[in-house]
Chain A
Amino acid sequence: MSGILLALIGMFVFFLGYRYYSKFIAEKIYRLDPNFVTPANEFNDGKDFVPTNKWVLWGHHFTSVAGAAPIVGPAIAIYWGWVPAVIWVLLGTVFAAGVHDFGALVLSVRNKGQSVGTLANKIIGQRAKILFLFIILILVLMVNAVFAWVIANLFINFPSAVLSVFIQIPLAIWIGYVVYRKKGGMLWPSLAALGTMYAAAVLASKVPALQIDLKSWFGGEENIVAFGLNGVAFSFFVWIIILMVYVYIASTLPVWKLLQPRDYINSHQLVVGLLILYLGLFFSNPTITAPAMNSAATDVPWIPILFITIACGAISGFHGLVASGTTSKQLDREPQARMVGYGGAVGEGLLALASIIAVGTLFTSREGFLEAYSGFAAANGGGLGNFVQGAGQLATGIFIPADIATTIVAVIVVSFAATTLDTSIRLMRYIISELGKEYKVMSLTKTHVATTIAVGSSAALVLLPEGPNGFGSGGYVLWPLFGTSNQLLAAITLLLITIWLKRQGRNYLPTLIPMVFLLAMTLFAMGRQLLLDWSPFAGANPNLLLFVLGSIIFGFAAWILLEAIAALRNNKPNVPKNKAV
């Protein structure tokens, strides 16, 4: 099948979803009211609550939710064939993610811009709030471990990208200085920084001396370097330690010094990445060589694992946090929630679709694909690398040489992953401080104590679990857990929206059905992995750490299910329209 045709079909489905389904949801289910005074207008303080132009808000929402996750998940999930992955991305975006992101935004707007965590407390009860906080904590912990490994893996596989990524740090600090101390604009310096980074990428692709290739410096797999670790494992160790030191510094520095300018540059990269992918696709018109259904993928069944492997790009609980955390405080008029929330989910779906096409068209033959995706473990380990190669190949369609394009795409993906890692460590620091305040452990509220715990536990989680690639590969073993906790979060948000709709006396099936589906798949997947893969009674490779973490998440999921049933059966009086729940 032609890659262009698949992209066009995908875009058409998204168009129909936005044009008709989101309209139906907006008018008949959420009943958006142009006269409703949004929190941005009601509490306008010029800081948290600011009425914002809808295009700016959509762009901000999309850049906040789009990162490496919608690329990684689909690049792994294509293991079962491109058809299941595409169907889940399309249907998931239209019927689950769109409704979820849109609903979280509306629910928050109707409740003074409160976040989903606070709303869980209000709508379900105190237990739900604590549950919520713990799930978020586990989620960010997973994100840290997974993305630290993802970045280290890309550094090892694409050493030509390392220089550009590290050059970005001083450039970002310089931009922060220019903008906030010298009162300059950010656009042009950031474009100059991006140009410098890509120039470094071009140079490093051509000059091997500029490639920071730890794997070969440490003698590769044959050489034992230290602590019984071979060259590859030791490279992972070194990169992960460097990354952890970096995120510690980045998350404790004032935002304007490093994070904001870095994210600003990375947002340019999102545009560049999408342009490379879609322009490259339309100019080169590649054929999808990956099988529609991979009959050789028998080690792990696609039902239910597919639904937790692709989280961002089909549905992701993290989006609900963004929608209710910041976006809802900036929505100028309620009807704009459709474009911002549903439209943001569609943007994410387009990124996931591009990831499937890039990997699906990478290989010259079906055999090449089957060799690279020989098992689920191989898919997990190589998925992202395949995306980088595939995107690099698409870029040749717009006349960028393959080696340079691959380096630039690797730089883009690492930048996305680094942004996610930075944000996630910072978020974890806030949650630890919050828990410290809640339980009166004041030392936890100190920046450096909270950051040390966040960074230390993330480093332990990525380094301790024994992955198939040995030391340091704990990150991708955790990927299914990351997907599960993310989906669980989405299910809770959908549950909150469902209860809200029920109390308003409206049709709640559009949110109830995806919620039940997500919970069923999450429980099925977790139960299966716990019993067959990680339990001490399982055959081949029992893994106690994953068993414990998985059990906690499984327990949370079951708990949420019970709370959901109780809350739905509890017929509280209907709340009048326009009033908070």
Chain B
Amino acid sequence: MSFQERLKRIIQLYDEILRTGHRTEIIRELQEEDDLFMLLLYSDMLGIPNPAFYYTLELYPHMLEKFHDWHTRMGMDKSPLTGFRCC
């Protein structure tokens, strides 16, 4: 490993050390924000009427991956939406 690579690795390690502190909290907070956004988009599926559901559903293909994370976090092992499955 050249000196430059070694230096880069040390800087990387240092950055990682300092980031580790709040990593979990931040992941959780950002997920909560995402969850709230998802809830706004797909509240209809949970029984909360959403007049814009027809339109927000159009976003579904773009959010397939996030949608899967969301419904598993919400305690639903399988997608609650019949016809549109992510798993």
Q: How far is the CA of A233 from the CA of B19 in the complex (A)?
A: 39
- Chain B residues with CB under 8 Å of A268's CB are 18
Q: Are A63 and B17 in contact (CB under 8 A)?
A: yes
B26 touches A63 (CB 8 A): no
- Interface residue B21 (Cβ < 8 Å from any Cβ of A): yes
In the complex where A53-B13, A53-B16, A187-B11 touch, is A256 in contact with B26 (Cβ < 8 A)? yes
- Which residues on B sit within 8 Å (CB–CB) of A56? 13, 16-17, 20
- Docked Cα-Cα span, A55 to B10, in Å, equals 10
Given contacts A255-B26, A256-B30, contact A55 B18 (CB under 8 A): no
- Give the contacts of B17-32 with A (CB-CB under 8 A): 17-30
B15 interface hit (Cβ, 8 Å)? yes
Q: Is the CB of A64 within 8 A of B21?
A: yes
Chain B neighbourhood of A60, CB < 8 A: 17, 20-21
- Which residues of the partner chain B approach A57 to less than 8 Å between Cβ atoms? 20
Nearest-neighbour CB distance to chain A for B55, whole angstroms, equals: 26
Cβ–Cβ contact A47 & B17, under 8 A: no
Closest to B20 in A: A60
**Given the contacts A47-B27, A47-B28, A255-B26, A260 and B21 also touching, CB distance less than 8 Å:** yes
Please, which residues of chain B bring their CB within 8 A of the CB of A64? Answer: 21
A227 nearest CB across to chain B (Å): 39
Which chain B residues lie closer than 8 Å to A267 at the CB level?
17-18, 21
- The 8 Å CB contact of B18, one of A47, A50, A52, A264, is A264
CA distance A210 to B32 in the complex (A): 42
Q: Please state if A256 and B29 are interface contacts (CB–CB under 8 Å).
A: yes
The answer on a CB contact under 8 Å between A259 and B22 is yes
Contact with B along A47-75 (1 / 0, CB 8 A): 11010110111011001100000000000
A residues less than 8 Å from B14 (CB atoms): 59, 187
Known: A53-B13, A254-B29. A264 touches B24 (CB 8 A): no
Residues of B within 8 A of A63 (CB): 17-18, 21
Chain B residues with CB under 8 A of A326 = 24
> A558 at the A/B interface (Cβ < 8 Å)?
no
Complex Cα distance, B1 from A80, in Å, reads 52
Asked whether B26 lies within 8 Å of A187 as measured between CB atoms, the reply is: no
Residues of A within 8 A of B13 (CB): 53, 55-56, 59
Q: Mark A325-342, 1 if CB is under 8 A from B, else 0.
A: 010001000000000000
A536 within 8 A of B: no
CA distance A187 to B12 in the complex (A): 9
- Closest CB in chain B relative to A21 CB, distance in Å: 26
Q: Are B21 and A263 in contact (CB under 8 A)?
A: yes
Residue of chain A at shortest CB distance from B10: A55
**Residue of A with least CB distance to B32:** A254
How close is B40's CB to chain A, nearest CB, in angstroms? 18
Q: Any chain B CB within 8 A of the CB of A186?
A: yes
Q: With an 8 A cutoff between CB atoms, is A185 at the interface?
A: yes
A186 touching B21, Cβ below 8 Å: no
Question: B26 contacts which of A52, A59, A260 (Cβ < 8 Å)?
Answer: A260
Closest A residue to B33 by CB, please name it: A254
Contacts of A256 in B (CB 8 A): 22, 26, 29-30
Among A47, A53, A255, A330, the residue within 8 A (CB) of B22 is A255
Q: Nearest B residue to A48 by beta-carbon distance?
A: B24
A260 to B23: give the CA distance in the assembly, Å.
9
Contacts of A53 in B (CB 8 A): 13, 16
Find chain B residues with CB under 8 A from A186 CB: 15, 18-19
| Cα(A47)–Cα(B30), bound, Å | 12
Contact with B along A174-189 (1 / 0, CB 8 A): 0000001000011100
**Residues of chain A lying within 8 A (CB to CB) of residue B17:** 55-56, 59-60, 63, 267
* Neighbouring A residues of B29 by C-beta, 8 Å: 254-256
CB-based contact B22/A263 at 8 Å? yes
Cα of A260 to Cα of B30 in the assembled complex, Å:
13
Q: State the CA gap A381–B65 with chains docked (Å).
A: 57
- Can you name the residue of chain B whose Cβ is closest to the Cβ of A253? B29
- A274 CB to nearest chain B CB (Å): 14
> In whole angstroms, what is the CA distance A56 to B10 when docked?
10
Contact residues, A157-213 vs B (CB, 8 A): 180, 185-187, 190
Contacts of A187 in B (CB 8 A): 11, 14-15
Given A53-B13, A56-B13, also A264-B19 (CB < 8 A)? yes
A64 to B26, CA, bound (A): 16
Q: Nearest-CB distance from B87 to chain A (Å)? A: 17
Tell me the bound Cα distance from A552 to B20 in angstroms: 36
Complex CA distance for A64 and B30, rounded to whole angstroms: 22
State the CA gap A256–B28 with chains docked (Å).
Answer: 11
B20 lies within 8 A of A330 (CB): yes
Shortest distance from the beta carbon of A343 to any chain B beta carbon, whole Å? 13
What is the CB-to-nearest-CB distance from A273 to chain B, in angstroms, rounded to a whole number?
15
The answer to whether A185 touches B22 (Cβ under 8 A) is: no
> With the chains together, A267 CA to B19 CA distance in Å?
10
Task: Sample 11 A-B pairs with CB under 8 A, ordered by A number.
Answer: A47-B27, A47-B28, A48-B24, A50-B23, A59-B14, A60-B17, A63-B18, A186-B19, A187-B11, A260-B25, A264-B18
**Which 3 pairs between the two chains have the least Cβ-Cβ distance?**
A59-B17, A60-B20, A260-B22
A interface list, Cβ under 8 A from B = 46-48, 50, 52-53, 55-57, 59-60, 63-64, 180, 185-187, 190, 254-256, 259-260, 263-264, 267-268, 326, 330
Contacts beyond the supplied A52-B20, A187-B14: 6 A-B pairs with Cβ under 8 Å:
A46-B27, A50-B23, A59-B14, A59-B18, A255-B29, A256-B26
